[in-house]
Structure 1
């Protein structure tokens, strides 16, 4: 039996890259897998057999090391969270939401700020400095002018990576710029709502000449965090971790309690006020959603 990786699922078929032959085969799923409830998604490692007509049948899905639910993809090494500095404007609340989801999945993170040709690079660096201080890697790119593409290639090399971010920030344009021959469809910004139009319709892993795989994914503008507990949210903001044991009350929500070390750190500007405010907004979302159940 052969082993491979699912590169995409489309039209009821699963396109599987064979590790030995380095060929891609169009496969169906064995009925018993469906009956067992073993879903197969992009990124899954599978065992499959070839049929006489050159197509294949997936017989087994191997154990996943991780998975994301939006985009739906498995066995990822890192996420490249991509935003434009303008057109559309950088949405820090959405950035923090995506960072929380990456922390939950225990993924390495690179923040990619694209379209820097449309704004001051110095301003962009100043805006993202708090994230670098937290420990996130930030790279600045322009698909149009070729700025920072070497940094992006280095980040992607020999990894299985997923691009995540809203529509219109240039994810497909960046991939077209670093990998010849992709010719991914690129959309334009709506002048009415100042957001991008969806150009990627399904999740697909693409092979890079420099080594590794990368997923171009459908864009999105909001993500639900209600599956996280109110008590658990604090652990997905890395800059809060060192202060949690110093609060007077345990548990502490870091919202209204007196003698809260997190709130004191915000006042001392050891934790950025903007990130803290987004923490409070996410906390309120989670608590309100639980009350409605």
Structure 2
């Protein structure tokens, strides 16, 4: 039976890309029975009814998957955050980074709308960018209006499945339109009443850009650490994970334990205060989570 990759899911149909083009498929009833939901990015085996229609028979093993946005087999997450409108948020960025790190996906931080920021805001953004680079993250400053940073971003999408993710209204669709102008993706301004972007992307779809595939995903502004346990969080902050090797006690959670290298390393060992505070906040959130049965 033929094989391919799901590049779009919409209204119960899965659009599978193979060497001959797109085939519109439905999932077999056995998937619903076994609680398996095919995702964009899945490698699948399908039974062809004809050249354009078929049924998905098998979903191959995934190397990773995200729930929000629903996508599988991602190589890279391009986390798109705006300098202004909406204002840059380190706590929201760190939430995205934790989820990405937990799923073993390579993150790239892209800060947009630099052209709309004033001198003080640009200086603050550059300082944040340097701090995240010190952690080990790639950070690119961009503007869809002036095309600043686009040449720096383009090589990062080649030969990868990337997901564009970030808060609504940060300019994900505008950025994709610059990377591939023929897309003409719908964009909306920030709602002045709500202070956030209007949802312009309604489904997940893999779009060919350069030699890679990028998923433009519905925007969302909150993340829950549903599957992350307290002892997992340490590894989702690379600088904390590195410094924790010097803690006296194995399994140290870096809150109240004696001789904790992480607590003493805030600021002096490349752990910024706000990143540590976010770690503490997220840890408490995980501890307060209602148990699942």
Tell me which interval the TM-score lies in, with the shorter structure as reference length.
over 0.9
CA–CA distance in structure 2, aligned partners of residues 215 and 251 of structure 1: 37
Change (3 A) 1:291 1:25: closer
User: For the Cα contact (< 8 Å) 2:230–2:283, is it kept in 1?
Assistant: yes
Deviations 1:195-228 (A, max 9, x none): 11111111111112x1110000011111111432
CA–CA distance in structure 1, aligned partners of residues 30 and 123 of structure 2: 57
User: For the Cα contact (< 8 Å) 1:207–1:214, is it kept in 2?
Assistant: yes
Deviation at 1:291, TM superposition (A): 7.3
CA–CA distance in structure 1, aligned partners of residues 260 and 146 of structure 2: 47
Query: 2:143 maps to what in 1?
Result: 142
Deviation at 1:259, TM superposition (A): 1.9
TM-score (norm. length: structure 2): 0.94
CA–CA distance in structure 2, aligned partners of residues 282 and 30 of structure 1: 39
Deviations 1:215-266 (A, max 9, x none): 0001111111143211221111100122223223333221122321101001
Change (3 A) 1:272 1:55: same
User: For the Cα contact (< 8 Å) 1:226–1:290, is it kept in 2?
Assistant: no
Change (3 A) 1:286 1:43: same
Residue 38 (structure 1) aligned to one of 15, 36, 39: 36
Unaligned runs of 5+ in 2: none
Query: 1:65 maps to what in 2?
Result: 63
Secondary structure of the equivalent of 2:175?
helix
Deviations 1:88-112 (A, max 9, x none): 0011101001101111111111100
CA–CA distance in structure 1, aligned partners of residues 85 and 289 of structure 2: 32
TM-score (norm. length: structure 1): 0.94
Change (3 A) 1:32 1:107: same
Secondary structure of the equivalent of 1:177?
helix
Deviation at 1:122, TM superposition (A): 4.1
Secondary structure of the equivalent of 2:3?
strand
State whether structure 2 residue 103 is matched by structure 1 residue 105. yes
Query: 2:206 maps to what in 1?
Result: 205
User: For the Cα contact (< 8 Å) 2:186–2:200, is it kept in 1?
Assistant: yes
After TM superposition, which residue ranges in structure 1, 4 or more long, deviate above 6 angstroms? none
Query: 1:178 maps to what in 2?
Result: 179
CA–CA distance in structure 2, aligned partners of residues 29 and 267 of structure 1: 52
Query: 2:73 maps to what in 1?
Result: 75
Aligned length: 290
User: For the Cα contact (< 8 Å) 2:23–2:51, is it kept in 1?
Assistant: no
Query: 1:275 maps to what in 2?
Result: 275
Unaligned runs of 5+ in 1: none
CA–CA distance in structure 2, aligned partners of residues 155 and 268 of structure 1: 32
Residue 95 (structure 1) aligned to one of 93, 96, 111: 93
1:1-293 equivalences under 5 Å are 1-18=1-18, 20-21=19-20, 23-52=21-50, 54-119=52-117, 120=119, 121-208=122-209, 210-266=210-266, 268=268, 270-290=270-290
Change (3 A) 1:5 1:259: same
Change (3 A) 1:252 1:192: same
